[in-house]
Chains A and B, each alone.
Chain A
Amino acid sequence: ARPAPDTLRRARFDRPQASSHCWRLLCSLLKQVHGGKWTEPDAIDIQIRFVKSVLWYHGYGRPELYRLPSDGSAGSRELLLAFSWLLHRISLLEQLLARNRVRTGDETSVCTCEDDLTNSQKGRTEIAPEYSLEDKVDVRYLQWLHGRLRFQWRSLHALHQEQSKLLHKIHLFTSGSHMDKILGHFSVTETELIRQPENYKQLLQFLESETMQLEAFLEWKQLEQVYWHWMVKTREEELQKEEFCAAARKTQEAVELKLLDLTYHCAPKKPKMHGSCRLVFRSKHSASKTGFGRSVSKEPISTVSATEVIRELQMRKASLERELKQLQEECRQRMDEIAEGLDGVICISP
C-alpha cells in the first residue's frame, strides 16, 4: 500500500497518525535494499526493530530515533529525518532502482560474496534436528557424505561446462542482431522472447512499469531541491523548539568534522567489483573492427573483462587452496598425535 503524499506533510508536523505509515514505509523500502525476500508484513514492533537496526547499521546517530516507542504511536518527524538522511547516505532511490532492475541478460556474479554468506550462515544456524548433540556419528557415514559431495561437485563441473558451451553458441549465433550495439548479441532470455513472444508478455509489462519508475525518478531529480529546502526548514523548526545553546552545537560540529576526517582517512583502498553483471561476448577481431572509439561519444559504461575476473578468481583460488592445505595439515598432525598414543596399532593413512 502506497502512503499518501499527505503522510509526509503530516510527518513534518509530527502527527502521530502518520507514524505507523512511516514505519511501514521505511521497513518495506529497507527490506528491499537489504536483499531480504518480502515476507508477510510483520507486526509493527518487529518492523520498528528492523528499521532501527538498519539505521544503526548505517551509522545513524540520533538518539531520539532509538528512543521511539515500539508501538508505532509517535515519531513521524524523527522518521522523516531518518528517511531523508538515508536517501542521501545510501542513495536509497538509486539502490532501489538498481536492485529491482528487470534483467534480461545472462547474469553472472563477479564476486564470491554469496558463497561467504552461505557458509557463514551455516556456521550460525542451529544444528539440524536429526543430528542431536548426543548422538555418535559413524565416521564412515561422514566419509560417505563427503564422497557424495565430491561427486556432486564433479557433476556440477560438467554441467557448468555444458552451460558455458551452450551460452557461447547462442551468443555467437546471434552476434550482430541486438539493437543495442554495445551488447551486440542476444541472451538466452531474449532469444526465447523472440522465438515465443507470447510467453513473455509479463516481461513487457515489467519493462514498461520500470520505464515509468525511471521517468518518475528523473522528475524527482528535477524537483529535488524543493524537497531538501523543505527538509532544512523542518530541521530548523525543530531546532527552534529545542533548547540547544549555540556554543554546544558548534562544539559538536567541530568534533563531527574531526571524526569525519579520520573516517575518510581509513577508508578501504580498493573499490572491488561486486554484484551481478550481464555476460557479453566480444570476440577480439570484432572489437578492433567496430572500434571502441565509436562509443566514445557516449559515457563509458562500466565493463569488466573476463580476464581480470579470471585473474582475481585465480588468486582467490590459490589463497583458498593454501588455507585448505593448512587446515588439512593441522588435522593430519592431530591425527598423528592421536595415532602415536595408541599402542600396537598401525595407522594407514588414506
Chain B
Amino acid sequence: MLPAGCGGRLAAALAAALGDGAERRRELERQAARGRALLGRWDAEDEERQKSDSSSSNGQESRPSPKELEELELLSRALAKALKVRKSIQKTSVEAQGVREGEKAANEGPAPKNAQVQQVPVSSEGVPVTTKVKAVSRKPTSSKKPSSYLLTAPYRTDPDVKKAHRKAPARCMSQAPRTAGKSSSKAVASKQARRHRLTISASNQEVCAAAESQKTDGLSKCGLLEQQSVSLGDSAGGKNLVAAGRQLFDTGKEGCGSLGGSSKKEDHTTEDALGRNSSPQADTLQEKGSRLKFPLPYRKAYSRNSRAWENCRLCQSSADAAAARNRFIERIQTTFCSPMPAFSPAEIEEEVKVLQNVPSLLSQCVEAEHADHPTLQREYESLLTLEGLQTIASQCLHKLQLLREAAESQMRLCPECTGDAGSCCSDSVPPWGQACGSTGVLAEPLLCYTSFQELRDLFALKMQVSMLNQEIAIQKTCREKERKPTTSGSLQVSCTSFCLVLLLFPLLKHALRNATIMCIPLSALLVRAVYGRLCAVLMHRVLRVH
C-alpha cells in the first residue's frame, strides 16, 4: 500500500526517532543516578567510591582488600539480620537454645547493631550492592585469615558460637573500630530502621521468601557447624566459622543481591521512610542539606564570578561611545546595497516561524463561530468576529508578501550565500533560531517553580510537546511527496491559502448578512451551512499544505 520511497523514508524517520529517544534515555538515567547518589548516605558512598577503583580485577591477593572486607561486613550484617528474624520465629519452638537466645538478646549491644546500621541504606542502593556482590563472587576466598583481623575489633571473645559467628566476619573488617566508634544512640534508630526495612522487604514477598529460605538453609547448616566447632576452641572455631560464613555468603549473597536489586524499585518509598526514621546524626542530604556550604576556594571563586557578571550586566556604554558607535553604523550602512531588502534573512526566518502558527489559530476561531447563533445579536457578533479575522488574515498575507519579496531580493544580493536554490537558509549557516539567543542577555534567567506538582507537570508537558512534534513530523513524512519542504516553499503555500480564504470570506459573509437581515430563517440556515462547510474545507486546505 505504501509507495516504495515513502516506506523507506518512514522507516528512516522512525529509526532516527528511536535513536534520539535512546540518547535521551541514557542522559536521563545518568542524571537520575547522580541524583540518587546524592540522596543516599554520603559517607558509605564515599568509602565505596574510594575503594571502587581498587576493585574486582585485582586478582589474587594474600590479604583481603579493604573493599572485600567491607563487603564481607555488609553481607554478614544482612545475614545477621536474617538470623535474628529466624531466631525470633524459632524462639518459642526451640527451648534448648533459650539460654543462648537470652544471652544473645542481652548481648545485642551497640557493636553489632552499629554494624548493622549501615546495612540498611546500603542494601537499598541496589546497584552498589549487586556490584559488590558480584565482586565478592569473583574473588577467590581464602579460608585462612591472619589473626590480626580476628582481633581488631574491641569485641569480647565469647564462647557463644552464634554470636562469634556473627562477630567473626565483623572482626575481619578494618572498619569495625570505626563502626564501633559511632554513637550507640544509633541503636534505637537502627532498630526502627531495621524493623521498617523488614516490613518493606516483607512486602516484597517473592524475593524475601527466597532470600530468607536461602539464608535459613545456610544458617541451619551453620548451626550444625557451630555446634560441632564449639568444642574446638576459639581460634580454630573462628577459622571454621569463617569458612562456614563464606559458604553462607555464597548462598546468602544471592538473596542479598536480589533483595537489594528488587528493592531498588522501592528506593523512593524506602528512602522516604529511612529519611524519616534516621537519627539526626545520619549522614544524608536530608539531614545536613540546609547546613551545606561550598568549599572555601569555590566560594571565593563563585562570589568573584557572580559579582563580575552583575557588573557586566549593569554596565552601559558611555554616551560618548554610544554616539561614536552609532555614527559608525550609520556611515557603514550607507554603503550597503541600495535598496536594501526590508528584512534580513534572520528576520525573515523569525517572522515565518510566527506566521506558521497563524492558520491553525485562525481556523480555531472560525470553528468557534460555527455554532448556531440563537439571537440576532449573537449573529451580528459572530459576523463582526469573522470580519476581524479577515482583517488579520489579510494583514498576515500582506506581511507574507513583503517577506517573500525580501527573500527574493536577498537571494539576488548574494546568490552564493543561499546554498540550495530556493531555500532561505543555506546548510552552512545553521538558523539563528536554533541558538535560541536573545541579544544582551547577560543575566541567567531563572525558572521558578513552587511545588513538586508544578515541576512534574512541567517536565511531563515538555515531553508531551516533544512527542507530539515528533509524531507530526512522522505523519508529515507519510504524505510527503518528492519535494523537500523549504522555507520559500512554505511562504508560497501560505500565500496561496491565505488568498483563498480571503476571496471567499467577503462573498459568503455578504450573503449571510443579507439572509439574516431579511429574516428568512430557512435560507439563512442553508447559507450558514454552506458557508460553514466551505470554511472548513478552506481551513483544511490551509492546514494541509503545511
Q: Name A174-207 residues within 8 Å CB distance of B.
A: 174-177, 179-180, 182-183, 186, 188, 190-197, 200, 203-204, 207
Checking A35, A303, A326 against B448 with a beta-carbon cut-off of 8 angstroms, the contacting residue is A303
Q: Does A155 contact B (CB under 8 A)?
A: yes
Assembled-state Cα–Cα distance A273/B1 (Å): 44
B448 touches A280 (CB 8 A): yes
Tally chain B residues at the interface, Cβ within 8 Å: 160
Chain B binding surface, main DSSP class: helix
Of B294, B325, B460, B464, the contact of A224 (CB 8 Å cutoff): B325
Docked pose: A279 CA to B448 CA in angstroms? 6
Which listed residue, A134, A168, A180, A299, touches B306 by the CB 8 Å rule? A180
A56 to B443 CA separation, bound complex (whole angstroms): 29
A33 adjacent to B462 (CB under 8 Å): no
* Interface flag for B347 (CB, 8 Å): yes
Query: For B334, what are the chain A residues with a Cβ–Cβ distance below 8 Å?
Result: 249, 252-253, 256
Q: Give the 3 A-B residue pairs with the shortest CB-CB distance, closest first.
A: A59-B344, A61-B336, A166-B35
Query: Most chain-B Cβ atoms within 10 A of its Cβ — which of A173, A188, A284?
Result: A173
Which residues on B sit within 8 Å (CB–CB) of A157?
A: 460, 463
Partner among A34, A152, A179 whose Cβ is within 8 Å of the Cβ of B429: A34
Residues in B407-457 with C-beta less than 8 Å from chain A? 410, 413-414, 416-417, 419, 425-452, 454-457
Given A132-B8, A163-B28, A278-B444, A306:B455 Cβ within 8 A? yes
Which positions 193-235 of chain A face chain B at CB distance < 8 Å? Answer: 193-197, 200, 203-204, 207-208, 210-211, 214-215, 217-218, 221, 224-225, 227-229, 231-232, 235
Of B32, B438, B446, the most chain A CB neighbours within 10 A belong to B446
User: Per-residue 0/1 for B381-418: is the Cβ within 8 Å of any A Cβ (1 yes, 0 no)?
Assistant: 00000000000000000010010000000100110110
Q: Distance in Å from the Cβ of A29 to the closest Cβ of chain B?
A: 13
Q: Is A9 an interface residue (CB 8 A)?
A: no
Those of B460-515 within 8 Å (CB) of chain A: 460-479, 484-485
Contact partner of A299 (CB less than 8 A), chosen from B313, B437, B479, is: B313
Q: Choose one: B12, B328, B465; the contact of A112 (CB below 8 Å).
A: B465
CB contacts (< 8 Å) of B289 on chain A: these are 170, 172-175, 177, 186
How near does chain B come to A236, taking the closest CB pair, in angstroms? 8
Q: Chain B residues with Cβ under 8 A from A164's Cβ?
A: 452, 455-456, 458-459
Q: Is the CB of A66 within 8 A of B414?
A: yes
In this assembly, does A349 line the interface, its C-beta being within 8 Å of a C-beta of chain B? no
Residues 53-91 of chain A, each 1 if its beta carbon lies under 8 Å from chain B, else 0 = 110111111111010000000000000010011001111
Tell me, yes or no, whether A290 is within 8 Å of chain B by CB: no
Check A177/B429 contact, CB under 8 A, given A122-B473, A133-B5, A266-B399. no
B281 contacts the other chain (CB 8 A): no
Query: When the two chains form their complex, are residues A119 and B317 in contact, meaning their CB atoms are under 8 A apart?
Result: no
> A43: which B residues are within 8 A, CB to CB?
none
Interface string of B30-73 (1 = CB under 8 A from A): 01101110110010001001000000000000000000000000
Chain B residues closer than 8 Å to A90, beta-carbon distance: 439
Query: Is the Cβ of B438 less than 8 Å from the Cβ of A57?
Result: no
**Residues of chain A within 8 A of B108, CB atoms compared:** none
- Contacts A282-B450, A302-B445 supplied; 12 other A-B pairs, CB < 8 Å: A119-B472, A149-B18, A159-B25, A160-B460, A163-B32, A170-B39, A173-B290, A197-B298, A229-B324, A235-B332, A252-B334, A301-B446
A173 proximity list for chain B (CB < 8 A): 39, 285-286, 289-290
